[in-house]
Structure 1
């Protein structure tokens, strides 16, 4: 009060900093959570599933389970010909996951080569399994080759990687070339030997590799031999038969050998067209909305130099989702602030209400400045916490203003009333503020894992806002009372006082207190009954700590029978696409055949590549359309496939 310039200057600076923070602080849809999942992958070329399980998987699991940081019950392996994939989940107390993955990789490099068979490649730790992409950009050009698509992706990647906030850029959907051997049966008959002689010759080599496969009906069976070659010329020079006369017959004499794209293992299509895809990840601590604007501009620039028939489409646009969701939250936030101010204005005299209501925007602005200073991002949880605390941040100011009015009505000078109104109630206000803070703090310390990382920002934000509210009430509100409330509210005349709504509420409350004091036993019994009934009623309420994510997209997952080859899986996908093609609620679809989409949401874990799996990613016109379609598609695709099933999968904040 003696130096009013100090609180005013600090308030102006902090409010200005809060407004700047509101526009510039990092934004995301949800809090950044630690994905404690990783993959350990090993390759054993030529080994069948039984060999992999016995010689690699068992030994790998035995080593992994020696780490106390690994959750044994959540760690599982998948063995298949030539490869094993172990999905590893870490304990909730592991904070620095990157450090652990590095330690694990060093341990595997040092210990596993001697324990595993010769020829095993790896094991390798894939610590990027938990990385979340912010955009998935598809490039297609009907009639053009995958090699040409690679060139177009080069142009796109060269443009995107110049954006400072971009982290990793990855490619998906490409097809690799390999050497194909086709035996000529007519030539074999001329030489007078058959496939058995060739098989025996191949089996005499010294390294086990898969030579190829045979498709019978709709199932694929691998063929394993013992040979290793560098290129098609070496393969062609292989002697497959020696005649009694000393003549050598080479593989090129009895087979056509050519290099072309490998047999299809996986592919990505968008609205039925083959595509290749770029995924973009963001540097930590950046504004995802600003990144989205930069990506949109850069993609538009690159599209101008690409051929006209090359189509570039965005399948997942996380910046747009964040901008839209935070926009809705800001609307709700603004409505909440207006509602609090309106209620205060309606229930209190105008001058008193004005001073009390000013505390809300000042507190909110300063809170945003502190959140930005602490490196806390703006997301749905922090904004929800601000909405929760809105009604509380004006309480302290109202108490101080009310105390000031009483003192002025008692003929105490306004300057004295101003500083006394704050100092006399400082301890009670601090105690009340601390009580509320302590009621929220357990959410930050008693929970564990993903739940804690998601929810902890509620008590942190609430605590900061209440602390700011306490300081505003003690240092700013008395100053404003002194300058803008020179008179009290009591009128010292004989005119009857006009009763307002609060007076009538006070009368009702007084009568209720009088009744309770008169019938004390009845009051205690009623309170006990209500208390017990709350447990009974509360136990019937369904709980869902992590709700379904309301978004204009969802997925159909196709799980075909084991042994189904990629072509049959692709046929099932086309059948699904044809079924939903006429749905006007669909904007576009992206089908991942033999694989799954990259992780585009923190709790949506991608599936391992396999030929009997596919994912149809559906973008819809709205959140409401998504909800309608999910209910409809669950019924439509139940028992839809004779040799598999369709799972309708919606995003959820719970780990999936």
Structure 2
């Protein structure tokens, strides 16, 4: 090859001269893309750090004013020493204070956990400054744990404790399912033993509540009793009558004025549930214990749903008669529908491009374009797998948006190749000419399009963290489309396109004459054309204010969430009665699949 030929060599010409290498990498990307697509995590929304923490503390017996002055204010002053705090909000009630801490938007998601750890250390170091008798503080910063799968255990004739025991067993079984991150029980009512005594009887016996409470506490405490050391093993001694039943507690001796009574003789001892009750759950109006699961970051939600379905089928066979396990929330099904919608959009886009290409560019050119589309998308899946980007609303949206643009580069190159071949230029020279003429302008246009999404990735806001994947996915996809148009598209065009030589008279028809006339008018009235363009730009910017704006469209899930708030100070029993009344009004509607209610 001469120096002159080397000087004019370009990517398209190099790709044609090394077709086997181009085909090898194309097949490699094809295989890797299919593997990556199957291995990508699948979720409904991208994971992001919630930059808020709730700190709560209790001071039993204190008024709201005392809580505000001595507990809430002290905690707020301690929290203010944490760097990058955006806002602190609090409210105080009798005996309780709740403080919400929000970090600034510029705090990256990777450092949020570190900030919360620093806040815990600050508050824990300052516990000595809190009022005596303070319970807590307690911290809640796990708002980003999304429980996408929720199940409810119900059973006629079964107590809360019975349902809790089976729920605990199922919880342990769920931990063995791959991609399960966290399992929590909802609506559990802890069992307690109640000791009720009449004030008149206590006065008659000369007893007071505190002395009886101290006696019960001493009798029910667990202490080391001793050990017998033998030649081969040690035997530990334990006191009988441990407080594990109502009978043992009733047998506790009480000394009253030199006489000894059994606790059961002077008090009524019953087993029951916490009063007021804890957070409660109902399924179709029936008391239930819920089991909520969250998925590991980067996990496959669809595969998780399949594994959970197998585990549920096994558990259903082992449940006793009368106990039912129902599914309340099924996020894998939502994700599966979302992925299916993308697949349908992808297939529709390929078919549309194929049909349009065949109708406008010809059969062989349409084949070239149609081969480039899936290869570009599979290459994008490889990049997403390498960058750790899952398939979710944002990344899928970026791929769907890029579908309309990723074919532009290949169409321009292939169409120009065909035109030059039709004019009699050799195939390799036509490919080289198309690259020299269009490659760098196309790269410039592609780069500008990609840069349009860059502010989303680099802005300091929670929304940018949520929508971050728009920029890398769009950039990778469009850059891959340019690379394919500069290498694979010329190779396929060189192999497949066989146009007939055209003459100049072919451009002398009604379409070209009308287009030529319009072009000549525009060039002759440049100021008018530029003025019309600027006027349309200004009109568009003005009309934009009348277009409704929202970050994401409303959810299409067939779900309705009703939030019921009673006046401040209402008891949980009153809230429970109102919630059950509302549930009973709607649960028999034939169009409803199920109703789940949470109280507390």
Which interval holds the TM-score relative to the shorter structure? Answer: 0.7 to 0.9
Superimposed CA distance per residue, residues 341-365 of structure 1 (whole angstroms, 9 cap, x where no aligned partner): 2222222222222213322222112
| Among candidates 521, 528, 538, match of residue 532 of structure 1 | 538
Do structure 1's residue 24 and structure 2's residue 36 form an aligned pair?
Answer: no
Q: Distance in 2 between matches of 1:375 and 1:364?
A: 16
Give the unaligned 5+ runs of structure 1.
203-229, 595-656
- Are 1:545 and 2:545 counterparts? no
Task: Give me the whole-angstrom Cα distance separating, in 2, the residues matched to 1:259 and 1:393.
Answer: 69
**Counterparts of 1:588 and 1:126, CA distance in 2:** 30
Other structure's SS at 1:144 match: coil
Structure 1 window deviating more from structure 2 (306-315 vs 543-552): it is: 543-552
Tell me the secondary structure at the aligned position of residue 304 of structure 1.
helix
Q: Aligned residue for 2:331?
A: 318
- Can you list the C-alpha shifts for 1:37-73, whole angstroms capped at 9, x where unaligned? 222232334444343323221111111122232221x
Which residue number in structure 2 is paired with residue 555 of structure 1?
Answer: 561
CA distance in 2, matches of 1:415, 1:526: 43
What is the SS of the residue equivalent to 1:284? coil
8 A contact 1:237–1:252 mirrored in 2: no
Alpha carbons 2:41, 2:299 under 8 Å: kept: yes
- Alignment of 1:99 with 2:86, yes or no, is no
Kindly indicate whether the alpha-carbon contact (under 8 Å) linking 2:180 and 2:293 is maintained by their aligned counterparts in 1.
yes
1:369 CA displacement: 1.6
Q: Tell me the equivalent position of 2:67.
A: 52
* Shift, 1:285, TM fit: 1.4
- Offset of 1:84 from its aligned partner? 2.8
1:386 to 399, 402, 406: 399
Corresponding residue number in structure 1 for 2:154? 140
Q: Give how far 1:247 is off.
A: 10
| Pairing 1:203-222 to 2, within 5 Å after superposition | none
Give the Cα separation in 1 of the matches to 2:519 and 2:432. 33
The reply to whether residue 127 of structure 1 matches residue 158 of structure 2 is no
What is the correspondence of 1:606-617 to structure 2 with a 5 Å cutoff?
Answer: none
Question: In structure 2, the residue corresponding to 1:418 is in which secondary structure?
Answer: helix
- The residue aligned with 2:378 is 365
Q: Secondary structure at the match of 1:384?
A: helix
Equivalent residue number for residue 260 of structure 1: 272
Structure 1 residues 351, 58: closer, same or farther in 2, change over 3 A? same
Equivalence for 1:219: none
Residue aligned with 2:17, SS: coil
Structure 1 residues 420 and 556: CA distance shift in structure 2, 3 A = same
Structure 1 contact 39–129 (Cα < 8 Å) conserved: no
CA deviation string 1:71-110 (max 9, x = no partner) = 21xx32243444333222222222222212222212222x
1:35 corresponds in structure 2 to: 50
Q: Is the 8 A contact 1:156 1:299 kept in 2?
A: no
Higher relative contact order (CA 8 A, sep 6+): 2
Structure 2 partner of 1:566: 572
Within 2, Cα distance between the matches of 1:148 and 1:453? 44
1:383 match: secondary structure: helix
Secondary structure of the residue that 1:85 maps to in structure 2?
strand
**Which stretch of the first structure deviates more once superposed, 339-348 or 40-49?**
40-49
Structure 1 pair 487/581, CA: closer, same or farther in 2 (3 Å)? Answer: closer
Structure 1 window deviating more from structure 2 (43-52 vs 277-286): it is 43-52
1:288 to 289, 297, 301: 301
Q: What is the aligned residue count? A: 551
Partner of 1:474: 486
**TM-score with structure 2 length normalisation?**
0.84
Task: Please name the residue that 2:477 is paired with.
Answer: 465
Q: Report which stretch shifted further, 161-170 or 15-24.
A: 15-24
Q: 2:75 matched to 1:63? A: no
Any unmatched runs of 5+ in structure 2?
Answer: 1-15, 213-242
Aligned counterparts of 2:501 and 2:281: Cα–Cα separation in 1: 73
- Maintained 8 Å contact 1:29/1:379: yes
Instruction: Give the deviation of 1:200 after TM superposition.
Output: 11
The residue aligned with 1:116 is: 130
Are the aligned partners of 2:187 and 2:278 in contact in 1 as well (CA < 8 Å)? no
Structure 2 Cα separation of the partners of residues 543 and 511 of structure 1: 41
The alpha-carbon deviation at position 23 of structure 1 amounts to 2.4
TM, length-normalised to structure 1: 0.77
Matched residue of 2:97: which SS?
Answer: strand
The alignment status of 1:15 with 2:35, answered yes or no, reads: no
* Stretch moving more, 253-262 or 542-551: 253-262
Q: Secondary structure at the match of 2:46?
A: coil
1:441-461 CA-partner distances (Å, limit 9, x unpaired): 222223x32210222222221
Distance of 1:422 and 1:440 partners within structure 2: 27
Describe the shift of the 1:389–1:507 C-alpha distance in structure 2 as closer, same or farther (beyond 3 A): farther
Could you say which residue in structure 1 is the equivalent of 2:6?
none
Indicate if the aligned counterparts of 2:424 and 2:501 stay in contact, CA closer than 8 A: no
* Structure 2 counterpart of 1:348, from 358, 361, 364: 361
CA contact (8 A) 2:48 2:144 kept: no
Preserved contact between residue 406 and residue 488 of structure 1 (Cα < 8 Å): no
Matched, 1:161 2:175: yes
User: Is the contact between residue 253 and residue 261 of structure 2 (CA under 8 Å) also seen in structure 1?
Assistant: no
Distance 1:279 1:557 in 2: 20
| 1:277 partnered with 2:290 | yes
Relative distance call for 1:103 and 1:161 in structure 2 (3 A) is same
Structure 2 residue matching 1:557: 3-state secondary structure? coil
